[in-house]
Structure 1
Amino acid sequence: MTKNRPLFRASLFSALAGAALLLLAATATAAEYVSVIKDGVNIRSGPEATKEILWTVFKGFPLQVTTTQGTWAKVVDFEGDTGWIATSLVAKEKTVIVKSETANLRVGAGKDYEIVAAAKRGVVFKPLTTEGDWIKVKHADGTTGWIFGKLLWPN
């Protein structure tokens, strides 16, 4: 005759449920960044196409997803503004945006390297690699260079 072990099953269930909650908590705290896939995309006040348009963004614009609701994502931009965007209008490809008034692109990863170009606030780049506090980036026009990471969002 086999004895039923309800205490063992309850403990096993509790352990599995606790592990699942830890996994969800770890996933929820990891920042998810996306980029807009085309020009002229509206950021809205709520998760519906009929909600007020708060602002409009361009292709490549980076956003941080804070939550999702159906086919909509609540997002934050580099200035801390929040709104909603349809998930079909973003891609998982990471981009970065200049958050300072200007940022110098340099030949190498350091302030002593020659300046290739200067980028103004709001210019978007694709990050290529990092070296210490420096990020090598590429602009849509093909220009590449290194920017001090604290001048970019997200970094």
Structure 2
Amino acid sequence: MRTIFFYGLFMDRSLLAGQGLQPEVVGRAVLPDFRIHIGQRATLIRSAGSRAYGVVMTLPDHEAEALYAEPSVREYVPERVRVELLNTGEELEADCYNLPPEVGLAGTNPAYATQLSRLVEALEFDPDYVAEIAAFGEPS
């Protein structure tokens, strides 16, 4: 089993289940010292004092490998991180898949940002975090 910190649209368990995967939700979590950036896709960037929110889930190893073999997310690389579960304060290690900086910072995707901000709001994360994500969907 692989424990994964999801921070993009994969936080929606039904999206993963719709792909034939069987994720088990561990809980909503926060990752300190990272901030979200939305280019063509979402990625997390190290940033002292920032916080990124997401959902920790477990997936069988073969399902995690299949998920990140998909063409749209193939460039994501796993990084081991330590997150804090929001409902219990428990800290745990999880894999967090991020884009390399030269890929993750490129482009814009306002539709993705809008969709993600709605999901983050539905998950009842910090309103400032919802606004941070929504700002990527606004014209600059």
Name the TM tier (shorter chain).
Answer: under 0.3
Which has a greater percent of strand? 1
**TM-score for the superposition, normalised by structure 2:** 0.25
Which of the pair has more CA radius of gyration?
A: 1
Q: RCO greater where, 1 or 2, for CA within 8 Å and sep 6 or more?
A: 2
The structure in which a higher percent of residues are helix is: 2
TM score, norm. by length of structure 1? 0.24
